[in-house]
Structure 1
């Protein structure tokens, strides 16, 4: 097992800082005349949506690859759970392939789905509320607590855990702090604009009415960073 716990695993700066900042700046670039290549493009085919899918696909592979290594059955079960969660997030994000393969939604499902797609998170009623409110906001809250507050507390206390124990491998790396923070706060400009009646058509794409796509992108990036930390621990364990 790696000498360093999961929350102290190093993450490249380009991934932990520069990439989330680039994603944050991207909507502003689309407001520059001549640079908005997404104008007239269905939002599901835009950069933010496809980055979200890419992050989740890579995370899924890493979680599955890492699940082979740990001796702890609990650790393996956790990694499989994370892989299944990534698969669900990815599948819903791309409507289980409909965005790329363009199949026609069955009429029975189309009448129940707010956007006429083959996914669960746009189903009218309880499912939509669960995915868009409980699951997404719960995940965002978890990234702040588990990805920033707890790791900072443990690092400040210089806590030490035996390799292979629960607290050694459980917590996400501190390298995901910016993605976690942005996932929790990126909605603020839109919320403030709504309070002053300034939101309609005045905010850039993804900062305005498509803000949910930005939030999901940062959440997916955080999941990828967590997957990389778990994979690195596994690689160092096998090398050591």
Structure 2
């Protein structure tokens, strides 16, 4: 069990930061190799409800809320460079989560209007498939920020 003190310091348990990602990658690899294709497609890789695709929206959503909590922390000086950097990370996480879920289209299964489908190259209700400025540019900024 993770204690509150561990979350407030850099002293996280090894199983959390090392072994959990390794086990998840191996589980994903093994399910892809050994599950029949139709079962894998239904439960893991399905764009609408698969575990893998859903995690692409849930993980950035969690990071959005963590960033908001950090921004509200009493020890973080408001409007400092760090504060703005975390704000950018929060906004980017919100954008990424919404885009990956098609702003709800994948879960609530609403259709795409013909006008929107005409400018969206995948016929979804998201922005990143409409132009490189909303797809490749934010991705490049994120990659620069991570490095």
Aligned equivalents of 2:140, 2:84: Cα separation in 1: 24
Tell me: CA distance 1:115–1:35, structure 2 relative to 1, closer, same or farther (3 Å). closer
| Corresponding residue for residue 22 of structure 1 | 23
Normalising by structure 1, what TM-score? 0.48
Tell me: CA distance 1:44–1:23, structure 2 relative to 1, closer, same or farther (3 Å). farther
Aligned equivalents of 1:61, 1:82: Cα separation in 2: 11
Aligned equivalents of 1:91, 1:59: Cα separation in 2: 13
Tell me: CA distance 1:21–1:136, structure 2 relative to 1, closer, same or farther (3 Å). farther
Tell me: CA distance 1:138–1:72, structure 2 relative to 1, closer, same or farther (3 Å). closer
2:68, 2:90 within 8 Å by CA — same for their partners in 1? yes
Equivalent of 2:61, from 37, 57, 71? 57
Aligned equivalents of 2:93, 2:99: Cα separation in 1: 10
1:52-87 superposed Cα distances (whole Å, 9 cap, x missing partner) = 222111111111112112234213333222211110
Normalising by structure 2, what TM-score? 0.73
Equivalent of 2:116, from 109, 114, 129? 109
Across the two proteins, how many residue pairs are aligned to each other? 134
Return 93-102 or 70-79, whichever deviates more.
Answer: 70-79
Aligned equivalents of 1:140, 1:13: Cα separation in 2: 26
